[in-house]
Chains A and B, each alone.
Chain A
Amino acid sequence: MSQFGMQMPGGASSRSASMNIYTGLLFVAVVALIAACAWMFVQGAKIAPDGQPFKMHGDKVQLR
């Protein structure tokens, strides 16, 4: 019944979650991970075959 805004007894009032310090830390971590991924992508593209950082070299190394 709470969906209808009725105050039921024994029901605690639900409070909405708010952003806290962890949210900020996660945000900073996400930003750092994005930067790390971009940097790794660029550097991996330098040493990967065909400039694709997820491809790996076989027996023969081919650089651009």
Chain B
Amino acid sequence: MHAVTKILVVFCAILCLLLAALTMAFAANADSIVRGHKSMEAALRAAETAAKNDIAQYAQERVNHRSEMDKLQNQLSQLNSQVASLQSDRTSLRAAAEQAAAEAASIRGQIGQLTATTQTQAAVITNYHGEVTGLRQELLAATKREIELVDRLNDLESAREVLEQNSRALKEQLEEAKLAMQSAGRTGGDTSASDPREAPGPLIRARVLEIVKSPAGEDLVIISEGANRGVRPNTLMHIVRGSDTFIGSIVITTVEPGQSVGRLNLYGRQNVQVQRDDMVLSRLTW
């Protein structure tokens, strides 16, 4: 065998070994790559499935987000409108606040003026109080003085009335004394058969209570006043009706404290009759 042939055989063997090694390594790597490729395909499928699920979920979330976005948009528009209305309210409230501040300032000014006025009025009232107190004390003093004067006047009035009563009584006594002296001068001192006379002093007013007949046939008139008013026996009294009608006269025969009885004298007139409640006077002029 030729040396070249041998060398070629050796090279051929070496190259065969080298090729076998390369082929085994290539096959192993190819197998690893294929397995990796398969696993990657599986992973890719799983990823695709997950991606589809994620896409569906994202779509649902997108729909939800869109609806939420619409809601938020509506809310935003409502809030914008509210903001606009609130801004208008704020403007109006700010204007109202400024107006209120101006009114408060004016009210403060008025309060200051009123305070000054009140202080002035308080001073005036204090002065008036002093004046009124003084006037009241003066009024009390004047009232006391008036009361004292009235008391003194009443005392003097009562003293005057007492003196007038005394004077009247003295006048009556004097008149009676004069009449007694005249009667004594005409009859020589017999006063028992004296003529009827009018009662002196103040006018006596009475009413006719009843007209009766005496056993002797005379007309007797009972009147409503007696000794309590100064009616005395043998007193001449006159009966009138109304204001100007003269009826007749009576001469008192019997006197009691509250009533009297007199004998009627119609002066011969037949067409005149005494009636109940006719006025009886002690004299016709006063």
Contact = CB atoms under 8 A, between A and B. Distances in A.
B8 A54 contact: no
B36 to A, nearest CB: 4
B16 interface: yes
A57 B29 contact: yes
Nearest to A52: B25
Contacts of B1: 17
A40 B29 contact: no
A56 B4 CA distance: 36
Given A22-B5, A61-B36, A30 B11 contact: yes
B12 A40 contact: no
Given A47-B33, A57-B29, A37 B2 contact: no
A47 B188 CA distance: 205
Contacts of A30: 8, 11-12, 15
Contacts of A8: none
Contacts of A56: 25, 28-29, 32
Contacts of A40: 19, 22-23, 26
Given A19-B2, A48-B29, A56-B29, A26 B12 contact: yes
A37 B20 CA distance: 9
Contacts of B21: 54
Contacts of A63: 33
Given A20-B2, A30-B15, A61-B32, A44 B25 contact: yes
Nearest to B8: A26
A33 B22 contact: no
A23 interface: yes
Contacts of A36: 15, 19
Contact of B22 (A29, A41, A60, A61): A41
Interface in A48-64: 48-49, 53-57, 60-61, 63
B12 A47 contact: no
Contacts of A7: none
B35 to A, nearest CB: 8
Interface string B22-42: 110110111011001000000
Of A22, A29, A33, most B-chain CB atoms within 10 Å: A33
A61 B15 CA distance: 28
Contacts of A48: 25-26, 29
Interface string A26-44: 1101100110110011011
Contacts of B30: 47
A22 B15 CA distance: 17
Contacts of B23: 40
Interface of B: 1-5, 8-9, 11-12, 15-16, 18-19, 21-23, 25-26, 28-30, 32-33, 36
Given A20-B5, A40-B19, 7 more contacts: A17-B1, A26-B8, A26-B9, A44-B29, A53-B26, A57-B29, A63-B33
24 contacts: A17-B2, A17-B5, A23-B2, A23-B8, A29-B8, A30-B8, A30-B12, A33-B12, A33-B19, A36-B15, A36-B19, A37-B18, A37-B19, A43-B26, A44-B22, A44-B29, A47-B29, A47-B33, A48-B25, A48-B26, A56-B28, A57-B29, A57-B36, A61-B32
